[in-house]
Amino acid sequence: MTALELAAEVRSGQRRAVDVLEEYLTRIDTHEASIHAFNEVTTDLARQQAQAVDDDVQAGRDPGPLAGVPVAFKDNMCTRGIPTTCSSRILENWRPPYDATVVQKVRAAGAITIGKTNLDEFAMGSSTENSAFGPTRNPLDLSRVPGGSSGGSAAAVAAGFAALALGSDTGGSIRQPAAFCGLVGMKPTYGAVSRYGLVAFGSSLDQIGPFAANVADAAALYEVIGGHDPLDSTSIPDLAPTVLDSIDRGVEGLRIGIVRELSGGAGSVEGIRSDVVDRVQAAAVALEAAGATVEEVSVPSTTLGLSAYYLVAPAEASSNLSRYDGVRYGLRVDAATTGEMNAATRTEGFGTEVKRRIMLGTYALSAGYYDAFYGKSLKVRTLMLQEFAAVYQRFDLLLTPTAPTTAFPLGERTADPMTMYVNDVCTIPSNLIGHPAISVPFGVGHDGLPVGVQVLGPALSEALIFRAAATLEAAAEMDR
């Protein structure tokens, strides 16, 4: 049953939200120990909320489009009174005094807050192995990672612990775990969803987006969380996040480009596995069969994305994470002077990957190095924007793999950060230029694990990328 079907049954009084919730809580009880999707399951809160939804239905009030739907939140979104840890020791047990805008919106839509999900510490990673509270495992194969950094949210939906989940995507942190766990995951246009209450990693790149088991559910959750928020200055004014009503319109007549540099063939970045490339080709065939024209297109600057990203994101992170100094909240490790206390707190509170990125970012912004590093990465962003703008003169959408491989075994890449970073090569461009993108499962690789294909579109083309995703979803089901 989809989340939308479930909501329809709760709204119509066919099923009680409290009963739905207990089914989910039972599954969590049974399987969470082997998966570790959650940092916290908010059982009591969820039961109260479910009861309130049922009371509304009983009283003839509509609880909203997501009535009774259990939703998991990545543990970097502030939830009032509920620990929000970013899977970091430095924020262990920190309880925010306020809710993130998306948390408020999801609750206002009648959804149930089922818990806070595990992530790579401060969303820095691609496997959810960088959590201070232990890794999350892929429900499809417990020896493998769920992807990251929103691995807990992906695993929660894949394991049936939540009908929907929210993740945050700074360089692919929604789309790549969606691909690894066989889900739909979508990163909206920068500014389409409020970042208020999302603990910042790379402020100019971060966007919150939905995880769902199918395209329509993801679209429904996007509609709930999207739209202008006066508390986020980068939020797009007067945005109506309407995508569901056009989702079945197909791709007839659309011009779709396969990005050569991310297609695994000649002129492509290295490391994109051939069975993944095969699925992208199959997706292209499916789109053509549905009436789109598909051809290869070159976007050379995409090959620069990885380097630019690993300067921009750490630079912003180095500044965003300064506030974890032991003075006001979170961990404090006492020492003789304030400066020594700051250092001791941060030394003990941050994990290795977070420290690595703070140092990278600090270096990239330093006097004498700014122009060569941070400044140059800004130029790459401008160049990419120009190239993509030119490409979108000739194409409506672009098609790429979501990740170079399927889900990899735990521990395989933790020793070498570079092999981990390369994971993000296909997803990073959308973040650097602020465009929307979606990952849709499209069959499996030679290892039997799901492969995600990625549809990219220009700014505010959410309706279009959901249409293409729905077309691919239908084709994948036919295949099966």
Partner 1 sequence: MIGHEPSLPDDWELVVGLEVHVELATKTKLFCGCANQFSSEPNTNVCPTCLGLPGSLPVLNGQAVAFAMTLGRALGCEVRPSVMARKNYFYPDMAKDFQTTQYDQPTNVDGELRLADGSVVGIERAHIEEDAGKTSHVGGGGRIGDANYSLVDYNRAGVPLVEIVSRPEIRSVEQARAYVSELRNILLAIGVSDARMEEGSLRVDANVSVRPTGSQELRTRCEIKNINSIRSMGRAIEYEAKRHVDLYASGESPHQETRHWDEDGGRTTPGRSKEDAEDYRYFQEPDLVPLVPTAEEVAAIDEQLPMLPAQRRHRLTQLAPNSADAATIVVERGQDDLVVAAVAAGADAERLLTRVQNDLAVDDWTKVDAEGLAALIGMETAGELTATQTKQVLAELVNHGGDPRTIAEALGFEAMSDDALAGLVDGLIADHPDEWNRFVAGDEGERRKMQGFFTGQIMKATQGQADGRAVADLLNGRAG
> Could you list the active site residues?
74, 149, 173
By the rule CB under 8 A, 374 interacts with partner 1: yes
By the rule CB under 8 A, 204 interacts with partner 1: yes
By the rule CB under 8 A, 329 interacts with partner 1: yes
Nearer to partner 1, 231 or 389 (CB): 231
The minimum distance between CB 335 and partner 1, in angstroms, equals 13
By the rule CB under 8 A, 242 interacts with partner 1: no
The minimum distance between CB 251 and partner 1, in angstroms, equals 34
Residue 467 host element (H or E): helix 462-479
Q: Which member of 9, 232, 278, 447 binds partner 1 (CB under 8 A)? A: 232
Q: What's the CA gap between 442 and 457, in Å, rounded? A: 18
- Candidate segments 73-81, 138-146, 176-184, 381-389, binder of partner 1 by CB under 8 A: 73-81
Residue 287 host element (H or E): helix 274-289
Q: Which member of 12, 34, 93, 338 binds partner 1 (CB under 8 A)? A: 338
Q: Which member of 109, 174, 198, 358 binds partner 1 (CB under 8 A)? A: 198
Q: Which member of 230, 271, 291, 300 binds partner 1 (CB under 8 A)? A: 230
Q: Which member of 32, 75, 129, 316 binds partner 1 (CB under 8 A)? A: 316
Q: Which of 54, 62, 48 is nearest to 113 (CA)?
A: 48
By the rule CB under 8 A, 291 interacts with partner 1: no
Encoding tokens for residue 323?
A: 């506030």
Encoding tokens for residue 411?
A: 């521990």
CA 61 vs CA 13, 75, 105: distances in Å:
11, 31, 17
Q: What's the CA gap between 141 and 155, in Å, rounded? A: 11
Q: Which of 406, 447, 456 is nearest to 176 (CA)?
A: 406
Identity of residue 226: G
By the rule CB under 8 A, 81 interacts with partner 1: no
Q: Is the peptide bond before 307 cis (omega within 30 degrees of 0)?
A: no
By the rule CB under 8 A, 402 interacts with partner 1: no
Nearer to partner 1, 140 or 313 (CB): 313
Q: What is the DSSP string of 423-446?
A: TTTTTHHHHHHT--EEEEEEEE-T
By the rule CB under 8 A, 123 interacts with partner 1: no
Residue 102 phi, psi (nearest 5): -65, -35
Identity of residue 33: A
CA 409 vs CA 43, 153, 271, 449, 459: distances in Å:
31, 19, 17, 12, 35
Nearer to partner 1, 187 or 195 (CB): 195
Footprint of partner 1 on this chain (CB under 8 A)? 76-78, 84, 86, 91, 94, 96-98, 100, 195-200, 203-204, 230-234, 315-316, 318-319, 322-323, 325, 327-329, 337-339, 342, 362, 365-367, 370, 374
